[in-house]
Amino acid sequence: MILYALRRLAAVAGVLLVICAVTFAIFYLLPSDPAAHACGKTCTPEQVTLVREQMGLDRPVPEQFGGYVAGIFAGRTLGTGPAALECSVPCFGYSYQNALPVWDLLTDRLPVSVSLAVGSAVLWLIGGLAVGLVAALRRGTALDRSLMAATLASASVPVYFTAMMLLLILVQQLEWLPYPDYRPITEDPAAWAGNLLLPWMTLASLYAAMYARLTRASMIETMAEPYIRTARAKGLYERTVVTKHGLRSALTPIVTIFGMDLGGLLAGAVITEHVFGLPGVGQLTYDAIFKADQPVVLGVTLLAAFFITLANLGVDLLYALIDPRVRYA
């Protein structure tokens, strides 16, 4: 298992390097000039040229990419001359618009996105599994059809529409919840959860619907397996057959998609954070794209790729715990 994990970590490093190269090429070979964005609209062509030289954009692209990758592990000096800036490890570049290192911006916004992703993941996983399990065990009944119709409607509604409706009903009309405003969990756990409950519900309403349908389909397929009939023939309680033999085997595809979804959300839920005004990585991404702040967009892309690849590694290791057949293989 240790050797397998080490091989997967090496593969993760290779994937991140490829993603870094592709993203770097996309953003630094586009017709738009990063130096012009950094300098501003009032800069003359001579000033833009000077900024391009200070930023090192006049060097060959492979040399720029090598410096970027080396800076992540060893730090680097950004620019030349009196305007040069020292970027400490890990150096993901310097934001043109915020005049701050990209790594500092990411670490400052990351707790908000992690709180949003983890909280909503708990809600959608519990809700999706419960609804899917009930629908599978009541297959073909009115309850099954009603639950699946509700999940289809929930999955079809855009996130921003759900967010606006919840704001209108729960915050403005009923006044049951406060308007979302991030509070660190270390300061006040109750205020942290209360202010994030509305964004959690928004994301959970979408993901729980998809997980419910996936759980139902996986459970129906699993409960028709021969070993389920054997377990029942041995006289096991139905609860044991469903939970220990049925649900445990049906969790394999759910764990796979859960790792992907959680890994993607850890790098920011752009629409949800923007609608609720949460200062997370998603909001930072939105502002960086709107302002063409390329180093920030590149840093966020690498952060998202890291979380997704790390989640995939975690999922592969969890397979052995969930399904004994994988462990024996």
CATH class label, 105-322? mainly alpha
Cβ atoms < 10 Å from Cβ of 189? 11
pLDDT in tens, 148-175: 999 999 988 888 899 999 999 999 998 8
Look at residues 100, 136, 154 and name the one whose alpha carbon lies nearest to residue 254: 136
Token pair, residue 94, equals 């310097």
**Nearest-10 crossing angle of helices 2-28, 294-322:** 160
Q: What is the mean pLDDT of the chain?
A: 85
pLDDT at residue number 118: 93
Q: Do 318 and 306 form a contact (C-beta atoms < 8 A)?
A: no
What is the b/e burial string over 227-246, where b = at least 16 CB atoms within 10 angstroms of the residue's CB? ebeebeeeeeeeeebbeebb
14, 312, 160, 26: CA torsion to nearest 10? 10
Which residue ranges does the chain devote to CATH 1.10.3720.10? 105-322
DSSP character at residue 241: I
Which residues does 329 contact at the CB level (< 8 Å), separation at least 6?
Answer: none
Question: Sorting pLDDT into bands at 50, 70 and 90, what band is 325?
Answer: low
- What is the mean pLDDT of the segment spanning 35-62? 76
Token pair, residue 49, equals 């040229």
pLDDT at residue number 142: 94
pLDDT in tens, 216-262: 999 999 998 898 999 889 888 888 899 888 888 888 888 888 988 99
DSSP character at residue 101: B
| C-alpha–C-alpha distance, residues 19 and 68, integer Å | 13
pLDDT > 70 fraction of the chain, expressed in percent and rounded: 92
Look at the pTM and tell me if it is higher than 0.75. Answer: yes
> What are the residues facing 86 on neighbouring strands?
77
